[in-house]
Structure 1
Amino acid sequence: MKRRPLAIATGTVGVLATVAFALPNLPPNPVTDSVNDTLFEEKSRHFVTAADAPRHEKRAFALPAWIPADATDIRIRERSSGKARVIRFTLGATPLDGPQCASGTPKQQSGPKLGATWWPRGTRAEERPECRDFYQYQVTVRGKRVYAWTDGTPSPTAG
């Protein structure tokens, strides 16, 4: 009987399926970073404090200007293009002030295009527009934890 080729094929499919589901959720390391960047076109970074993260908007993983300087435990997942991204951070002593959409009306966004194990479900009803940076973000605050995302829609105040 030809059971051996079938067993090898089944084992290979099982290993590939396990890797496909587990890889995006593994902690960042050179292997997962490379595969996520190439295969999924996504990158992730973790910063202990806001001071550890870049602030210049042209750099990868740059923090939006509205994130307080004393924010901690910052996690960012973004498309390789740098436009779509999800961010989670913990507030320090500085509170997150209200939405700043001084001119223009925020555009409706369809929802986060990226997923991360640290991103909670059900934030949609709590989201508020945040428009002080180049990109328009949707922000949810739960206690000291802040969740923000953008699909790359430019802020009405940008430009």
Structure 2
Amino acid sequence: MSFTLATLDGQCARNKATLFRQEVYVLRRLFLIMLFGLVISTAGCGTLLERGEKSKIHSRSGHYYVGVQYDWRLLSFTSKGAYDYGSMLCYLSVVCPFVTLLSLPADFVVDTVMLYGDHQNKIVEERNYNKYLRSKYCLAEGVPDEAALKSMGLDVGFCLVVRN
């Protein structure tokens, strides 16, 4: 009888060990799924924030890799000057800098994919800006304002070039 009890106890111990390994495996997978979901849900935050209409009014990032530049300014406290409350709140939340670092590669990939569109937008903005300059300084009063053009690094030849 003691031999059968010993074998039953051994089988019970093996079953408990197997069950424990299965539970650890399930918990490990659940943790990885949650971590992956967190990374996916926060990936590309800088790109999403910088590509909105309001960001074009207040942005200092230029035309290319705007998401990466936004993330860098957020991490380096150079977003809006000395009193940047967004960066301060990000660092006070403790999690935000790490999430921003995790989303930086995704922002880089998205910005690289959007490079052609960003270049096209830059060309359109430069055309509109040149039209504005020509209408303000070249066509005003029939004579180009040479002093104003020179202060912007342009010459009178800028007024002679007509582009659509």
Give the structure with the higher percent strand. 1
Select the structure of larger CA radius of gyration.
2
Would you call these one fold, judging by a TM-score over 0.5? no
Q: TM-score, normalised by structure 2?
A: 0.30
